[in-house]
Chain A
Amino acid sequence: MEIPYIVTPRKDTGLFNAKIAIWLFLASEVMLFGGFFSSYVFLRLGADYPWPERTLPVLPGLINTFVLIGSSVTVVFAWAALKMREWRKFQIFMGITVFCALIFMVLKAVEYNVKFHHQALRLKDYSIIEGHLGKELDGDKKEVLDHNGNPIEENLIYVEASKLTFNTRRFHTPWLEELLTQAEQHKSTVKLTADLKGEEGTSDEGKIYAKSGELLSIEFLNRMEEIRKAATSNNAALRTTALRQEWVKAHAANPGKRDWQISAGVNIDLKALKPKMLTEISTVTFTVDPPAKFDFHPRDIKAADGSSRMRDDTVVEGKLLDSPMGFHHVDAIDFQYLVMKAVEKGIEPEIAIENSWLIKNNKFAQEAWEWHQGEIVKLKAELLKKGGLDKDGKPRLFPTHKELYRIGWKDFAKKTEDEGRVKLSSSDAFKEEFFGPNYEARGDETFPELSVPREQVGFAAKFSPAWNTYYGIYFTITGLHGLHVIGGALVLSYYLFFGRKMYLTNPEWLANRVEIGGLFWHFVDLVWIFVFPILYLM
């Protein structure tokens, strides 16, 4: 059996099979990315927060655009070389194409990496601080390391825990290990608070499953889980049988009645059942002796003074300690969201800003805001000079919302440079276009430290999909596009490195394959042509 039209095109359609398939596949891909682009439009139009505009570094994106366009050209040359049966030329052009893909991915990785280390914080009053989280320092200003040997980042919730209660149905083993390690570090022991024994009146009455003082361990909790499972299975079976019997009796006693008319009277006789039941140990409580300071990642715990609950239902009893969020380097202060909320309530933006927690409690922020207002005056004058007045006597050009209410890292840099305090070499300044602000060269004067008390923290996230829907769609689209680049590059490299054998036996077939690989590559390029303006420029 041979499938026709693998190499030669069919006469009436003029196409070989794979060519139809790739166009269909691309149509499907258009719908996929179309779905994402439509979502972008939908989310942007419906956003109830100031949509971040032009926040990504343009230069790496621009370079990537040209890299991809270039590779789209070379992949065509590679195909043409195959058609002309010039293997060496094919190798060179395909090599360039794959190398371009590599450059693209490296730049992408740099871009991602910068974001994953950049912290954003929305205060309760909707002002936003961006920067780098600090590391906890000891007396000699050296980084304090945690038990895993990592520096401790200053975004942890501290609880002086005295009791830990675990749910035996589900506890997250890695968290349990973490708690044990922390307890050990603080030289505390975690012991069972009270004896675990069979309930009164049950079949296992008085049976001691664990003695108080037993140490917490994973094995211990696993054992309790098994005991609970056996008990619930046993009890559920008993209760089910009992309820069935009750219903048989109820139906006999109430002929012709519907279930809902008599269901209130059909109940299991728990007293009669109890001697056959087993004790279900659903939670196990341990005492931390002496009470120790545990730290938790904010997302893992709903913290409250007295009793905090972790996501796996572990309850941590104890005092909630001061857990400020500490920035080592603040590189942006953003009042756009705050202003938006203020305008909704009919409050003047400037008044709202001046009453914000940040301006009131932080000298640096106050200075920066005052300096920024001076800049705005200058900007307005400049715009007036450039645009003039319209017929109503209003300036034709005016500062954007972002220019008015956001002090970004370039503003901070300009401030200290204007004041003559910091000067950067031109190569350092160029590097900043890729990696963002250079904290070491610019120092604390430009990007100061800042500590925010936990009760002011509204929502905090890295510059990851969690920060807002813009970053969500940015990472999703570019991530998916990146996967397409990787996939395409793998296929093209396969032709490059393993295509020789087919070239010698059936070069036309290889040319066809390169052609459809190239079509896919053009599509990947085309997607980027859309991605770049909507995510980087608009």
Chain B
Amino acid sequence: MSSHDTSHAGHDAHHDEHHHNPGFIWKYVFSSDHKMIGMQYGITAMCFLAFGFYLMMVMRWSIAYPHQPLPEWMSWVFTDGWKARWLQDGKVTGETYNMFGAMHGTIMVFLGIVPLGFGAFGNYVTPLQIGAPDMAFPRLNMASYWVYLAGGLIMCASFFMESGSAKSGWTNYSPLAGFADGQIVTQILAGQTQWLIGLVCLITSSLLGSVNFVTTIINLRVRGMTWMRMPFFVWSMLVTGFLLLLAFPPLEAAGIMQLMDRVAHSSFFMPSGLFTKSEGLANLSGGGSPLLFQHLFWFLGHPEVYVLLLPAFACVAEIIPVNTRKPLWGYKSMVYSVLILGFLSFVVWAHHMYMTGMGAAVSTFFQTTTVLISVPSVVIITAMLISLWGGSIRFTPPMMWACAFIPMFGIGGLTGLPLAFNLADLHLHDTYYVIGHFHYVVAPGILFGFFAGVLHWYPKITGRFMSKTLNHLHFWPSLICMNLIFFPMLVQGMAGFHRRWYNGGDAYLSQAADSVNIFGKTVVQYIDMNIMMSMGAWTLAFFQIFFFINLITSWKFGKKVTSDNPWDATTLEWATPTPPGHGNFLKDPVTYRGPYEYSRPDCEEDFLPQWVEPRRLDTADKPADKH
């Protein structure tokens, strides 16, 4: 971090006045440097992911052993008062399970994966790959992180309040969510209300972030970095930025309206004549529409899936060419696919709502668009797969994860097809099949992509490699456990296991099978899978420890890199010093060619970075000109 200060002489005093010799606070906490913000995002997101994982472990206990008290190795986290309030004789209650379920979903999606993919990788890598000194608006970038953190903490703080946290599912459908915690007089201290306030913070954060990303990509590309010379990573971030920019606001509208329903007693999502057991006839005007909430929610909800997915695609698409030593196959098709994907993701939302009775014509429309959107996804994943063909693959740690990503995401994607058809969905809706499907996409899919990304860029960030041994200890058990958890879900789901059974179907077995409870006969065949899946989940948690050990210890003790470009890669981030200082490049780089020029027959080395001047070519023979 010492080699970059030369360009600072005579710069404008209006901005970055604190960058000359930033103190600890300005350097690590209120930093406006995109790399530090990226790391802040990454670390925070990983903490949230770990927390979300923990919630899931408790839920898995309740599913596998609904009659047994939560064991001490999980329950020691709670205070006695908390246990007395939320556990019954030490067992997880339905209400607590709902709380954990809603927050597991929220935390993983909004506080974990999106900030990790877009916030961390996007922030760190995007400006480097386009040769920019920083984001277009560094302080906006900082604000984005802090608003995100505030939103996340507000949401999580609600666990410790009298009302508990939000508990109406991560989708927070009204009228259920409209009534939840209605008994709390000071609504600002109710879990559901805090969820909504937190959500508004998160949307603000993603707005600031996405404006920044798109502006940076459009205006801060270095000389020579034309659109079709941008790495696929940058394209993905551009599309992700647009998705966040345009899809989140309708959810903000929904959030604000639900907030009004709760705080100002309006009836946006409350139908007439609503009657509840605790309240009787609701003291509300009625006349609203619960369906409206679902429309607004899923208008975000579906593009959100691609917000989760595209950064993982982005990481894997960078790692594959580096480790196969050949260009990314079908780069242009991938770029066009990702653009089409982005567009189509706005017109598929109602496939989450086949069961709402919105009408056969509407369902048919959304069924068609949903099937259409699988085309660009398959183009991208196929291009990645073909990229492996004929390559001299180096199985480096990041490459192992990238290779696992392809089939795992493949399973996730393909299991989605039956859900797209509304006839099949009538059977599968809200079963474990759906859970299995999207967890295959998100957990062994997207998260594997992110692990790959961490391992890939770690040498650039720290100047050291992460340990191969620890990676093996992390990778293989993770791969096995992930499948152990999620594959049985597909089976259980087809047998009709419902996603919100807090006791894993046990209630059907505690009574004799009769005409009412005939379902018990099905349940009994598949209920033992619950234990296997839960064991898988806890084992998975154990082996994640190796990742965190690896992440922390390699910072000090990892094998040092010998050059600024340890993987022999071609994209611009490897042209920076290691680690890159403030302002990134020692001098402005110039881009001369596309991002994946590997194994060119006209070069001596098997890679030709974007920043290397073409003069070097002139000295060589020119056989390449022929094609």
Contact = CB atoms under 8 A, between A and B. Distances in A.
Nearest to A25: B211
B249 A32 contact: yes
A129 B265 CA distance: 20
Interface in A230-250: 232-237, 239-240, 242-244, 247
B600 interface: no
B84 A235 contact: yes
A398 to B, nearest CB: 26
Interface stretch (B106-114, B284-292, B564-572, B610-618): B284-292
Interface residues of B, number: 82
A266 interface: yes
Contact of B220 (A3, A29, A38, A170): A3
B261 to A, nearest CB: 8
A21 B8 contact: no
Interface string A139-157: 0000000000000000000
Interface stretch (A44-52, A203-211, A406-414, A523-531): A44-52
A374 interface: no
B245 A27 contact: yes
Contacts of B253: 32, 35-36, 39
Contact of B510 (A260, A469, A473): A260
A4 B214 CA distance: 15
Contact of A476 (B256, B527, B582): B256
Contact of B506 (A170, A260, A266): A260
Interface string B132-144: 0110111000000
B265 A299 contact: yes
Nearest to B254: A35
Contacts of A468: 267, 285, 287
B90 interface: yes
Interface in B1-33: 7-8, 11-12, 14-16, 19
Contact of B134 (A1, A5, A27): A1
Contact of B268 (A1, A27, A473, A480): A473
B80 A233 contact: yes
Contact of A35 (B8, B252, B288): B252
A234 B219 CA distance: 63
A268 B89 CA distance: 9
B12 A2 contact: yes
A467 interface: yes
B90 A21 contact: no
A526 B522 CA distance: 59
Contact of B249 (A31, A48, A174, A459): A31
A453 interface: no
B268 A43 contact: yes
Nearest to B527: A260
Given A1-B583, A3-B220, A472 B266 contact: yes
B396 interface: no
Interface string A284-320: 0000000000000011101000000001110000000
Nearest to B65: A259
Interface stretch (A9-17, A59-67, A76-84, A130-138): A9-17
A102 interface: no
B365 to A, nearest CB: 17
Given A3-B134, A239-B89, A466-B284, A31 B246 contact: yes
Given A24-B245, A27-B245, A236 B285 contact: no
Contacts of B69: 240, 243-244, 247
B229 interface: no
Nearest to A37: B253
A339 B332 CA distance: 63
Contacts of B250: 31-32, 34-35, 38
Interface in B265-280: 265-268, 271-272, 279-280
B310 interface: no
A175 B15 CA distance: 52
Nearest to B293: A39
Contact of A264 (B162, B215, B272, B510): B510
A465 B292 contact: no
Contacts of A300: 185
Contact of B285 (A170, A260, A459): A459
30 contacts: A1-B8, A1-B11, A3-B15, A3-B136, A3-B138, A5-B136, A5-B219, A5-B220, A13-B219, A17-B137, A17-B215, A17-B219, A24-B214, A24-B245, A27-B245, A32-B249, A35-B252, A42-B292, A174-B185, A175-B185, A232-B85, A236-B80, A240-B87, A243-B69, A259-B65, A259-B66, A311-B183, A464-B264, A465-B266, A475-B264
Interface of B: 7-8, 11-12, 14-16, 19, 65-69, 80-81, 83-85, 87, 89-91, 133-134, 136-138, 162, 182-186, 207, 210-212, 214-215, 218-220, 245-254, 256-257, 260, 264-268, 271-272, 279-280, 283-289, 292, 295-296, 299, 506, 509-510, 527-528, 582-583
Interface of A: 1-5, 10, 13, 15-17, 20-21, 24-25, 27-29, 31-32, 34-36, 38-39, 42-43, 46-49, 122, 169-170, 172, 174-175, 229, 232-237, 239-240, 242-244, 247, 258-260, 263-264, 266, 268, 298-300, 302, 311-313, 459, 461, 464-469, 471-473, 475-476, 480, 506
Given A1-B134, A32-B253, A242-B89, 15 more contacts: A1-B583, A3-B136, A4-B133, A4-B219, A20-B219, A21-B215, A42-B292, A43-B288, A49-B286, A170-B184, A236-B89, A244-B90, A311-B183, A312-B185, A475-B266
- The 8 closest A-B CB pairs, nearest first, are A240-B90, A35-B253, A1-B583, A472-B266, A32-B249, A465-B266, A35-B250, A236-B84
